[in-house]
Amino acid sequence: MREIMYDESSDESTENEIDKSFKDELSEISNLSKKGYLSINENRIEEAKNCFNKILMVDENNNYALVGMGDAERKLSNYKQAIDYYQQCLDIYPGNNYALFGLADCYKALHQYHKAIEIWEQYILHDDRNITILTRVADAYRKIRNFKQSKAIYLRVLEMEEDNAYAIIGLGHLHYDFREYREALFYWEKMLENTGKNVDIRVLTSIGNCHRKLKTFEDGIAYFEKALLQDENNFYALFGLADCYRGLKKPAKSLVYWNRILKKDSKNKVILTRAGDAYRILEDYNKATEYYEKALNMEFDTYAGLGLALTAKALGKIEEAAESLSRMIQHESRNYRLYLELIDCKLLLGEKKQAHDIIEELQRNKIKNGVLAEFIERIR
């Protein structure tokens, strides 16, 4: 019988070839991965996706490629597709922080803040001193109006890094959202102090808005004017200035800024109505009517309708004003201002019984307001 010889050198050669092939494949995957992430950073998203897809064709469970595809789709705002990639990665590698981070950001972008918080809190279990994640969690709690949790996390960040801009800004927004304007002002002023001459225009307009809400209009004007030096067409600065002058009962000055907004946004019905109010107070009734009608031609607006009624009333067209107010009350049955003006019209027309009938209707419907109550008490 012929003896079969075993060639050890041949087997070793085959193993070397397999080992080399495996190493080459790993090297190619590593290079594709690096190239993919670099492409994302340089905003060449399709190139990035092409790199990660090549990896997934060889290794369908590669965590770098799955996260990379998630990041690429997230950059394109394809959040649902991104979620699928991140979730696929987490199914295989449950603790992958990059996948958790991306997944939470997707849910945040989709305004699913509860889900985002749930995922970020999983991340914090592995890294409870990650300031980036902590501020994101605080932001999400702010979005769902959980004041206590949001504030606690922002303050925790400030304990770790006392001048952290994201936490200071977050606290400014948080207190503003909950109408705690003095507290909001404290944080916005702290932000201003930290940034000095290189202040972001949004800090200036936020400080201005706090003063506007606190009715310290003169102080607000100073900040809105500084904002306009950075951007002469900034909507928030123009609106803030107009509203401050409105609060100071200087309609002519407010009109300068209402009209500057309308030059850029001629179909803004809120601004058209505010400008109409200013013209009405200045007794330029033709202009007031023109602006109110422009607003109403776009879409019915209670305040533009009220403005037209008040213009008619000022021109002595009391019956026309009363009819207009009565029609509006049918659609806005709980707007106290409409009732107040209608009662006044009825009294001007000498229709005292009808005025008292309206008052009784208000009482039956339990429509209450301090200004309205004072007015009713005065006419009684």
Query: In the chain, what are the domains?
Result: 32-128 (1.25.40.10)
Q: Is the pLDDT of residue 10 over 60?
A: no
What percent of the chain shows pLDDT beyond 70?
91
pTM: 0.82
Q: Is the pLDDT of residue 2 over 50?
A: no
Give the span between the Cα atoms of 265 and 239, in whole angstroms. Answer: 12
**Whole-angstrom Cα Rg for the chain:** 32
230 is written with which tokens? Answer: 């950075």
64 is written with which tokens? Answer: 């770098």
**Which residue, among 194, 300, 324, has the nearest Cα to 292 in the 3D structure?**
300
Q: Is the pLDDT of residue 87 over 80?
A: yes
Q: Which residue has the tokens 């209707």?
A: 361
Is 292 in contact with 277 (CB distance < 8 Å)? no
Q: How confident is the model at residue 296 (pLDDT cuts 50, 70, 90)?
A: very high
Region 343-354 average pLDDT: 93
* pLDDT at position 364: 77
Element (H, E) at 217: helix 217-230
* pLDDT at position 380: 65
